[in-house]
Structure 1
Amino acid sequence: MNLFPAVPIPPQMKKPASYGRELAFDFDRNTFLYVDGRPKIVEGIAALQIWIEKTLRTARYRYPIYRFSYGCELADVIGLDLPTLVLEAEIPRLIREALVYDDRIADVGDFIVERDGDRLRAEFTVTTTLGDRFRQEVKGLV
């Protein structure tokens, strides 16, 4: 049973040519990765996965450096004492809304959400506009 209606994802206006590049980041140690003293750069799906995790770890509307479409509103609901049924519906919706604005992502689904107090672990499937599918896990969200 879902408390919230499914909202269709708007059709993508144009497909990206690639997934881009990102600086490699170790989210467990909260540090950038280096190779021979230089920042490690990743491309392809690995770059998209880093962007996804950074997006979900950034509170939307909190930092003026980011556009309002960047970030996630998870921090607004994690600390609340909401019924489990509400959280099970709301958390996937917030994650999905945070990610589908990017023109590389076509859909996000198949969620597994585990909550431990004020911490959250989410696992989900990402379908890209280039036709790739992969599982993404994000731990330690607040």
Structure 2
Amino acid sequence: MAFTPDNETEFLDEALAEEESSTPLPSKTWALDFENGKIGSTIDGDKALRQFIIKAIKTERSRYVIYSDDYGCELTELVGGDYTPALLDAEIPRMVTEALSYDDRIDEVIEITYRRDGDKLFINARVVPAAGDVVITEEVET
């Protein structure tokens, strides 16, 4: 009789295989009306993912205790700064990609573009959802 555990991993292998083949969990969340500041019914699927994209970009990272330090975007650091266009071209896509990659419903961030109009910054994000073949494009005003 040995005092060391048996190192066979068949149970672990079975659990990992089951986890990989399991269906994704629903992404049900409350529908947010950003213009009127109201919460509506629940949404799921692409609508919930689109709302996440908007919310993740608009939410300032590490500002609200309710969110972890992984949630949100750091774009406010660039507001009002005297930065070169080359720096903005590098940092804005990096910051937005970082904010969106946090969610496991997003497989890949394909393209981030932006345009400035006075005090406003408009961000276009194209993402590939983990479930589905349709690329989602969303414009966010910050």
> TM-score scaled by structure 1?
0.76
The alignment covers a number of residue pairs equal to 122
* Structure 1 residues 114 and 19: CA distance shift in structure 2, 3 A: farther
Matched, 1:131 2:132: yes
Aligned in 2, Cα 1:83/1:16: closer, same or farther, shift over 3 Å? farther
**In the alignment, structure 1 residue 120 sits paired with structure 2 residue 121:** yes
More helix by share: 2
> Aligned-pair RMSD on alpha carbons?
2.1
SS in 2 for 1:126: strand
3-state DSSP of counterpart to 2:103: coil
Among candidates 32, 39, 57, match of residue 38 of structure 2: 32
Task: Report what 2:92 is aligned to.
Answer: 91
Kindly report which structure 2 residues correspond to 1:15-94, keeping only aligned pairs within 5 A, or say none.
17-18=24-25, 20-27=27-34, 29-32=35-38, 39-94=40-95
For 1:32 and 1:18, locate their aligned partners in 2 and report how far apart those are by CA, in whole Å.
Answer: 26
Runs (4 or more) in structure 1 with deviation over 3 Å come to 13-16
* Higher relative contact order, structure no. (Cα contacts within 8 Å, ≥ 6 residues apart): 1
Q: CA deviation at 1:22?
A: 2.2
| More strand, by proportion | 1
- TM-score by length of structure 2 reads 0.76
> Any idea what the Cα deviations from partners look like across 1:23-49, whole Å, max 9, x if unmatched?
22232x24225xxxxx32211110111
Q: Which runs of 5+ in 1 are unaligned?
A: 1-12, 34-38
Aligned-pair identity in percent equals 39
Offset of 1:79 from its aligned partner?
Answer: 2.2
Q: 1:118 to 1:98 in 2, by over 3 A?
A: same
